[in-house]
Structure 1
Amino acid sequence: MRAVLITPPLHSHLRAFEALSRELVRRGHEAIFLTEPGIALEDGVAQATLPGPPARPQPRRLLAEIVTGARRTDRLCREGLGVLRGLSPDLVLGDQMEPASGLLARALGVPLVSVACAVPMDPEPGIPLPFLGWPHDPSADGLRRNRGGERVADLLMTPQLRVIRQWAQSWSLGNLRRLQDCLSPDLALSQMAPGFDYPRPANGCHIAPVGPFRKGQVAQDFPADIAPDPGRPFVYASLGTLQGHRAGLLARIARACRQAGAQVLVSHAGSLTDDQACAIPADWVRSFVPQQAVLARADLCVTHAGLNTALECLAAGVPMLALPLTHDQPGVAARIAHCGAGLRLHPWQRSTARIAAAVRTLLDDPGYRQTARRFAAQAGTWEGAAGAIDRVEALFTAPRPATA
């Protein structure tokens, strides 16, 4: 089987797709990434590059990011179809955040498997779009609220939706209008841990929650220059690789943790200057830390609610205080609160006093840690990339209905 993989050039998405690629190759299949020029992949990963200039840098502001994403989709459709025809793939593995994967697979007439690196986008009554931190609510009021959120999303995503409609019409693919219309109806591979997502009884039977694709990473050592006092709570705070520049919020988190009587380690992913880092009143401030090793010692994680960090916390049995910032982080934070593995604070709730109160609650109430530890007890059964490719192979070998 020859599979072509298509994903936006976001660090966590590329690493997740690389894990799927390696598992495909390990089983004797071919796996080839379709990318714009200038996208660096890990050693040994096959890559087919579009012609033309390098990809535009990924902006940080939402509207600029939407415009950049629409341009990337247009380029993949405009230049990628010819490249794919030359590759003759048997299957397209497409990121749910890149609608070109669904458009190209349909144009080629090959099976599509959708990949949800973050919160699955598949429609389900009662479940809001991933970027909304609303609860699961299948009541009439909940459905009405979700429809309102979808209308707002359509307005924000106008550049992307325009590109989808243009190429769907150009290739006679039918009435494809939104990102959700470009998803696979057959199989969606999700990095969600089983039991972490909202229930999906109506449309979720094709979604496979296999847990993080990247499993069995190299063992990490706890930093030798950090020595937490075992007699006091130890809190780890990180806003991820893209939001570590928020020095003011990191400083409030550090002050709040210390007010709550906890030690705090802050990681900013190399996004702060030395002066900015020194101004954060934490016990330790570092550019990067071995996150899994730190979580193995932590009593609590204060996080932006990126899915990768949330899953690592669940695997380590560490409760979370979620402070979502952008993208699908509100949806991840809502699920952290929904399953009982932590609390979340909305943007208007992030004073030092509110954060300190939430930290105290999470440290004092054992229920949050017990819930997180129940996930940790199951983490060894999460299937990861191996389970994902099991399902891909099963789909590929299953008899397909005859066409008229």
Structure 2
Amino acid sequence: MTVKRRHIAIIAPPTAGHINPLAALGTSLAEAGRQVTVVHMADVASLVPDCGVGFAPLDHPADCQGLLADYYRKLAQPSGPVGLPRMIRGTASMTELLLKALPAALSRLGVDAVLADSVEPAGALVARHLRLPFVTAVTGLPLLREPTVPPPFLGWAYRPGAVGRNRNSGGYAVSDLLMRPITTIVSAYARRWGLDPDPRHQWSDRLQIAQCPAGLDFPRTALPQSFRYGAPWRLDEPEEHLPENDGRSLIFCSLGSLQGSRRSLFAAMTAACAAVGARAVVAHGGGLSDREAHSLPGNPLVRAFWSQTRVLPRCSAAILHGGFNTVLDALAAGVPIVAVPLAFEQPATAARLKRIGAARVVSAAEAGKGGLEPALRLVLGDPRYRHAARLLGTDMAGAGGAAEAAAMVDAALFDDADVRPAGPIPSDGKAACAA
């Protein structure tokens, strides 16, 4: 008699920054005997690495093709009075698509449990609707509110006194107003399904597992008992064979997979590296053409992607936009950072890096006016920056990474018999696409 493997669905935003660490976590779960599947629209299949994790598309027609590319265009310009509301509306549409199509998809797949990224509320809500156990995966900064902790999308310093609390309260009020397109959709589906719409239910009371190390976050006093800090969730990357060293130190430069088309900012980075006698190693995520890549000053090493965990240990510093995964990889390698935050949680991540002394923060405007060179000289010349990065890297090395996190996820999901298959719920794929 064949015993069915417990089946875990990963529900996450359709970006590499979320899919990659969750695929690493899912691979460790698969190695422990679970079946793990990323579930999203068909175009997302290309984001899932070739590992122990499967992929299943939502049931929607072919005319949904192009939706992902359109969403990426909105994510690439996520700020300003036009770009920010447009990006939020696009994210709300993506959440609505999942809410419409996921119940039927998870039922069809025979899913037993859900691993829900904290940034995508559809995962937790659909799990509650189908009475499936779920764990919250925190791939970026923890989003849990506390009066002394600023909103996670603002680059404010940690100020625990009355002034800081009042400022944070105002920041959360503005954040709630901006996020209303998303929260309105989620609340409507919760009520439709007879569920409490309180957003606190988005967080699992079984386990909230983060790849963020405790030492990077601001001090917290009200974390739920189910919350656990951790270390990066990574798949093994192949060795990188760099060209023969020309005697210069290496500086890793990245703007992630969504902002990599900013040729002028990359030029400022590579020029700053050349000015301090170093050579830039540029990862542009496919955002630059060959002509643009070859035109960057300072004779940098340029590719769309590098094996970050292999290259960063060879570098003396990194110039980064503050994307969470690359920041963690730099810290794991003990590499000090010049942070140039652009959007999303990047300013908040930069504020935390500044607080622990592992980075200098330079605005994009300052970077375009020559501000990167003095910041880079400082993090290279002052050993305290490298010391702070190495200290946190040592802490992360002892935290276990994806394997230890997977063991906690497995125990939280399957430590009892409360695992029920999702019942068949009809769904109109055409309606899902209309989101």
Q: Which moved more, 1:115-124 or 1:74-83?
A: 74-83
Paired amino acid for 1:210: G
CA offsets 1:131-158 (integer angstroms, 9 cap, x no match): 1111222322222212222222223222
The CA distance in 2 between the partners of 1:81 and 1:253, in whole Å, is 46
Q: Report sequence identity in percent.
A: 33
Structure 1 pair 290–100 and aligned structure 2 pair: CA distance change class (3 A): closer
Q: Secondary structure at the match of 1:382?
A: coil
CA offsets 1:69-108 (integer angstroms, 9 cap, x no match): 2122212222222333344543211011111111111212
Q: Which residue of 2 aligns with 1:107?
A: 129
CA offsets 1:149-175 (integer angstroms, 9 cap, x no match): 222222322221221111111112123
The CA distance in 1 between the partners of 2:346 and 2:267, in whole Å, is 20
Q: Which residue of 1 aligns with 2:176?
A: 154
Instruction: Give 2:405's match in structure 1, choosing from 361, 369, 388.
Output: 388
Residues 214-229 of structure 1 correspond to what in structure 2 (within 5 A)?
Answer: 214-215=234-235, 217-224=236-243, 227-229=245-247
Q: Which residue of 1 aligns with 2:101?
A: 79
Paired amino acid for 1:8: P
Instruction: Give 2:20's match in structure 1, choosing from 15, 18, 40.
Output: 15
Instruction: Give 1:126's match in structure 2, choosing from 137, 148, 172.
Output: 148
Q: Secondary structure at the match of 2:191?
A: helix
Q: Give me the TM-score of the superposition, normalised by structure 2.
A: 0.84
Paired amino acid for 1:209: Y
Q: Which residue of 2 aligns with 1:350?
A: 367
Q: Secondary structure at the match of 2:319?
A: strand
Q: Which residue of 2 aligns with 1:48?
A: 56
Q: Secondary structure at the match of 1:5?
A: strand
Aligned-pair CA distance for 1:195: 1.5
CA offsets 1:2-48 (integer angstroms, 9 cap, x no match): 32211111112112222222222211222233212232134453333
Instruction: Give 2:309's match in structure 1, choosing from 257, 277, 292.
Output: 292
Aligned-pair CA distance for 1:118: 1.0
The CA distance in 1 between the partners of 2:285 and 2:13, in whole Å, is 21
The CA distance in 2 between the partners of 1:78 and 1:274, in whole Å, is 41
CA offsets 1:235-266 (integer angstroms, 9 cap, x no match): 22221222121111111222233333433333
CA offsets 1:329-383 (integer angstroms, 9 cap, x no match): 1121111111111111234432443221111111111111111122333343232
Q: Which moved more, 1:90-99 or 1:199-208?
A: 199-208
Q: Which residue of 1 aligns with 2:338?
A: 321
Residues 222, 293 of structure 1: 8 Å contact kept:
no
Aligned-pair CA distance for 1:285: 4.1
Aligned-pair CA distance for 1:300: 1.0
Q: Which moved more, 1:314-323 or 1:201-210?
A: 201-210
The CA distance in 2 between the partners of 1:33 and 1:381, in whole Å, is 28
Matched, 1:243 2:254: no
Residues 271, 287 of structure 1: 8 Å contact kept:
no
Structure 1 pair 109–235 and aligned structure 2 pair: CA distance change class (3 A): same
The CA distance in 2 between the partners of 1:221 and 1:86, in whole Å, is 41
Aligned-pair CA distance for 1:309: 1.0
Q: Which ranges in structure 1 are unaligned for 5 or more consecutive residues?
A: none
Residues 253, 352 of structure 1: 8 Å contact kept:
no
Aligned-pair CA distance for 1:219: 4.4
The CA distance in 2 between the partners of 1:279 and 1:32, in whole Å, is 41
Structure 1 pair 264–47 and aligned structure 2 pair: CA distance change class (3 A): closer
Paired amino acid for 1:34: V
Q: Which residue of 1 aligns with 2:30?
A: 25
The CA distance in 2 between the partners of 1:142 and 1:271, in whole Å, is 38
Matched, 1:366 2:395: no
The CA distance in 1 between the partners of 2:399 and 2:380, in whole Å, is 27
**RMSD of aligned alpha carbons:** 2.3
Residues 135, 413 of structure 2: 8 Å contact kept:
no
The CA distance in 2 between the partners of 1:400 and 1:338, in whole Å, is 44
Structure 1 pair 258–39 and aligned structure 2 pair: CA distance change class (3 A): closer
Paired amino acid for 2:372: I
The CA distance in 2 between the partners of 1:181 and 1:256, in whole Å, is 47
Q: Give me the TM-score of the superposition, normalised by structure 1.
A: 0.90
The CA distance in 2 between the partners of 1:181 and 1:338, in whole Å, is 31
Q: Which residue of 1 aligns with 2:320?
A: 303
Q: Secondary structure at the match of 1:101?
A: helix
Structure 1 pair 285–28 and aligned structure 2 pair: CA distance change class (3 A): closer
Q: Which moved more, 1:135-144 or 1:98-107?
A: 135-144
The CA distance in 2 between the partners of 1:137 and 1:110, in whole Å, is 39
Between the two structures, name the one with larger relative contact order (CA 8 Å, sep ≥ 6). 2
Residues 19, 214 of structure 1: 8 Å contact kept:
yes
Paired amino acid for 1:156: L
